[in-house]
Amino acid sequence: MSTLYMGADKETVAKYVLFSGDPWRVEVVKNYLEQPKKIAFLREFNTYTGTYKGVEVTITSTGIGAPSAAIAMEEMYEAGMEVAVRMGTVMSMQDDMLGHFLIPVAAMRREGTSSSYVDLSYPAVADFELVNVMNETVTQMGKRYLNGLNCTMDGFYSCMHDSRFSKEWERDMSRTFEEVKKLGVTGIDMESSCMLTLGRLMEVKTCILTIATVLENLKETLEGKERREAEELLCKTALEGIYNYHMKNKR
């Protein structure tokens, strides 16, 4: 029986699952797969399964935010997922990391979805073996990585970037950035802490592989060719990381 929102099942989903926020990034990743098979594109969930260097991998999307990311985690788990990697973009709190990778070891849970599963005292922590493999893979790709702390929030225009409405209501975004930097946070996004929390609860090995495409309040961004190349690198690195993890655990 297929899952409610994603149309997936145990016959069509691999034990390794890559999660992209952007459903169209899935179309980029699928070009690196051998014999990709389209599972479904329903709502924000675009899903393919294929092989990469002989390793079966499912790639799917979550859309923006923790609620839909939780649905994706739930339905991929129902379909047999054992390893989960979020491959996405992140807002860096460090100016020198633009275009490089943030692979957090843990995340602050400032989204509301994970608290519907478990008390906020429960930590959102990545699988260290997966993190180490992704570190090695990023190095092989010639890029730098940072294993810091992530902060996941629900409100993009209320906490992370100025808008007409936020200015009318005199919201001061700088307070967000000053606070999280004081706490040692290296990146802000909208999905990671929820996915790490659910991964731990499900006993699914989970990690976050993100590339910094913007700095705080979008004061600097990767655009055009730079952005496309960064996203292509993210896709290649995620697949290579899955392959390296598989080979390491095959022995």
φ/ψ region of 137 (left if φ > 0, alpha if ψ in -120 to 50, else beta) reads alpha
Total-model pTM: 0.96
Helix (H, G, I), strand (E, B) or coil at 84: strand
Q: Which domain holds residue 73?
A: 16-250
- Mean pLDDT of all residues in the chain? 97
Within a domain: residue 79? yes
Task: Output the pLDDT for position 1.
Answer: 86
Report how many domains make up the chain: 1
Rounded Cα distance, 121 and 182, in Å: 20
Tens of pLDDT, residues 56-66: 999 999 999 99
Tens of pLDDT, residues 153-199: 999 999 999 999 999 999 999 999 999 999 999 999 999 999 999 99
**CATH (domain of 240):** 3.40.50.1580
* Nearest by Cα to 77 from 189, 205, 190: 205
pLDDT, average across residues 86-98:
97
Within a domain: residue 164? yes
Within a domain: residue 7? no
Within a domain: residue 181? yes
pLDDT, average across residues 119-141:
97
Within a domain: residue 157? yes
Helix (H, G, I), strand (E, B) or coil at 220: coil
The answer to whether the beta carbons of residues 80 and 13 sit under 8 Å apart is yes
